[in-house]
Amino acid sequence: MVYIWNDPSEVPADFGPSVVTFGNFDGVHRGHQQVLSQLIRSARLTHSKAVAVTFDPHPAVIHRPESAPRLIMGLEDKLEALGELGLDAILVVKYSLDLASLTAEEFVEQYLVDCLHASHVVIGHDARFGRGNSGDLETMKALGGKFGFEVQVISEFGSEGYPLHDDDGTDRRCSSTWVREALQEGDVATAAEVLGRPHRMRGEVVHGAARGRALGFPTANLASNSTGLIPADGIYAGWLVDEAGKRWPAAISVGSNPTFDGVSRQVEAHVIDRPREAVEDFDLYGQTVIVEFLARLRGMVAYRGPEALVDQMKLDVVQAHQLLARH
């Protein structure tokens, strides 16, 4: 069981000692996983608690809201992904201008030392923290000497261990930026490679224009406030996970339905192997579901009428089914 605290006041006074790291962890990609696996190993060896400190909202939302990147995943999915790694606890710190005003020493003392009783702090070599990002690795080492904790430095996932390569064949460090770039290009396969799992969105199934049902391909339409970065427009093979945890193979459409002169972007999942009963008996409306993306089948195209679109959709479903059967 992993403890999730949404405020330092929720941390028991006798908690610890702990091995701690901190960061945004957007995507919880392979680089994050390597840091956290080292943290967990250190915690087990020292009979300590393994703890990750993360921030909500993302600091960019506070400091530069006009250019803040769309998050790869929502908080719920981030906490789930972090919890699956074997951590003992996660502290979610509300990011604000007050928090940003803390000096590096104040942040470390208040959150890592006084709150979590850190015996070890695990960080990347380029970690920055404190007011104006003034704290770095050398700062943390100095604070470790002052407050009595050890500092462990680890390189993030990339050329070490399991190499990942960019388009030009060179090794590239895993990063949230790389995942965003891949998703913006519709390259969900590369995104999954960097993440270590398929990219996902989470949202409520809402009523749409019902065009898919009229064409014989009913879809689960995600609400506009769904979490998770929307990949580039196109047709994808993937899965839909319902509230009961049932994982259904799906053909997923992302785009504005250009054949029907659509304007707003939508994410719609057509469940391939759904029950043969009437459509009304397979009702996902109102459920919060997860949509996972395995592979991009094609880009979004405006077809000359519904008949041509239906012919293409049949081919999409066959291709999606074949891909998913191999996974």
Tens digit of each residue's pLDDT (9 = 90 or more) over 79-95? 999 999 999 999 999 99
- Cβ-defined contacts of 43-48 (< 8 Å, 24+): 43/18, 43/19, 43/88, 43/120, 46/17, 46/19, 46/119, 46/120, 48/16, 48/17, 48/18, 48/19, 48/119, 48/120
- Please check whether residue 162 lies inside any domain of the structure: no
Say whether pLDDT at 244 is over 70.
yes
Q: Residue 29, by phi and psi: left (phi above 0), alpha (psi -120 to 50) or beta?
A: beta
Say whether pLDDT at 160 is over 50.
no
Least confident of 5-9, 289-293, 311-315: 311-315
Closest Cα partner for 73 from 174, 200, 184?
200
- Please check whether residue 105 lies inside any domain of the structure: yes
Q: What pLDDT score was predicted for residue 242? A: 94
> Does one domain contain both 141 and 253?
no
Q: What pLDDT score was predicted for residue 159? A: 38
CB-CB contact of 56 with 49 (8 Å): no
> Does one domain contain both 22 and 85?
yes
**296: amino acid identity, one letter:** R
> Does one domain contain both 65 and 126?
yes
Choosing from 104, 129, 156, the residue where a domain stops is 156
- Please check whether residue 104 lies inside any domain of the structure: yes
Spatial neighbors of 148 by CB under 8 A, at least 6 apart, are: none
> Does one domain contain both 137 and 282?
no
Q: What pLDDT score was predicted for residue 309? A: 79
- Please check whether residue 177 lies inside any domain of the structure: no
CA distance 61 to 5: 21
> Does one domain contain both 25 and 141?
yes
> Does one domain contain both 221 and 284?
yes
> Does one domain contain both 106 and 250?
no
Please name the residue that has the structure tokens 């009595």: 148
**CATH at 18:** 3.40.50.620
Query: Whole-model pTM above 0.85?
Result: yes
What tokens appear for 298 in the block?
A: 């094609």
- Please check whether residue 188 lies inside any domain of the structure: no
- Please check whether residue 131 lies inside any domain of the structure: yes
- Please check whether residue 119 lies inside any domain of the structure: yes
- 106-135 per-position pLDDT tens digit: 999 999 999 999 999 999 888 999 999 999
Closest Cα partner for 63 from 22, 99, 88, 19?
99
> Does one domain contain both 144 and 206?
no
Choosing from 123, 140, 156, the residue where a domain stops is 156
* Domain, as residue range, for 276: 199-325
Tell me the CB-side half-sphere exposure of residue 268, using CA atoms within 13 A: 22
Please tell me the total count of domains within the chain. Answer: 2
Q: What pLDDT score was predicted for residue 145? A: 98
**232: amino acid identity, one letter:** A
> Does one domain contain both 204 and 151?
no
Q: What pLDDT score was predicted for residue 312? A: 85
Choosing from 156, 189, 214, the residue where a domain stops is 156
**CATH at 224:** 2.40.30.30
- Please check whether residue 190 lies inside any domain of the structure: no
> Does one domain contain both 224 and 85?
no
> Does one domain contain both 129 and 228?
no
